[in-house]
Chains A and B, each alone.
Chain A
Amino acid sequence: MVPTSWYLALSAVLFAIGAVGVLVRRNIIVVFMAIELMLNAVNLTFVAFARQLGSIDGQVIVFFVMTVAAAEAAVGLAIIIAAFRNRPTVNVDELAVLRW
């Protein structure tokens, strides 16, 4: 039986990879995918703790995280399409109209 801490360490590594992806990539869609990666790393933490504590609550929270991620992906990609129509680029450096 693999101890819970190994799963938590794995999820920490996945989260860090996702965070680096948000920082280094310039393509806004790949930045989005990196955010999904971070959400999934957190889901792994929830499921690992649910097994550790012998409760089902963590798995229910994962269900809610998936719902929020689906809503976020739908709205976010719609925003990307709307922005692309105004200015045909997916480079986050060029989509800086709102930057102060």
Chain B
Amino acid sequence: MGPITFAVLATALVVSALTVVVHPSPVKSAMALVATLFLLAVVFVFLGAHMIAALQVIVYAGAIMVLFLFVIMLLNLSDDGAEARHRGRVVFRLGAWIGGGVLAVELSAFFLRVPFPEPATPPAGYGGAEAVATALFVDYLLPFELTSILLLVAVVGAVVLAQRRTA
């Protein structure tokens, strides 16, 4: 990826991420988050992580965001001005933005100063389904099996938490 492509992608990413944070309507925040996740998938493709990019679109932009939109729809949320009425103290919000800006500048300045050597050309099939699956099912087999327990717990927990109490 050339510097110009990167600059365009990075600008779009930062703009959509800021939209998630500042837009008063939750639905539009969610749509901006979908855009952010798609753009990140594009960045992953440029980094050679094709399998992860596909998972990003399917799991994140697909499944998780649909969950978010369903909850927004279920709770019937819209921009009713509540966000503006409950903004909290101006000093606090200003402090949060300044603190976030300092964090971003500090971290970026640190990273940009590290002289990373040019990465070696990855082997053929790097980041494809086969390479990721080989690592996943050989080196990381136990953590992989444990994620199935985690997901089972999450499913049971979500059902128990969200069900109506029948007293």
A residues contacting B by CB (< 8 A) are 1-10, 12-21, 23-27, 29-30, 32-34, 36-37, 40, 43-44, 47-48, 50-54, 56-57, 59-60, 62-64, 66-75, 77-82, 84-85, 90-91, 93
Query: A interface, by DSSP: helix, strand, loop or mixed?
Result: helix
Query: B interface, by DSSP: helix, strand, loop or mixed?
Result: helix
Inter-chain pairs besides A37-B21, A60-B140, A81-B71, 15 sampled, C-beta below 8 Å: A1-B118, A5-B114, A5-B116, A9-B107, A10-B10, A10-B14, A15-B104, A21-B20, A27-B26, A51-B119, A54-B122, A71-B153, A73-B67, A77-B71, A91-B86
A18–B26 CA distance with the chains assembled, in angstroms? 15
A50–B122 CA distance with the chains assembled, in angstroms? 10
| Chain B interface size range | 35 or more
CB of B68 within 8 A of CB of A32, answer yes
The 3 closest A-B pairs by CB, nearest first: A12-B107, A20-B100, A71-B154
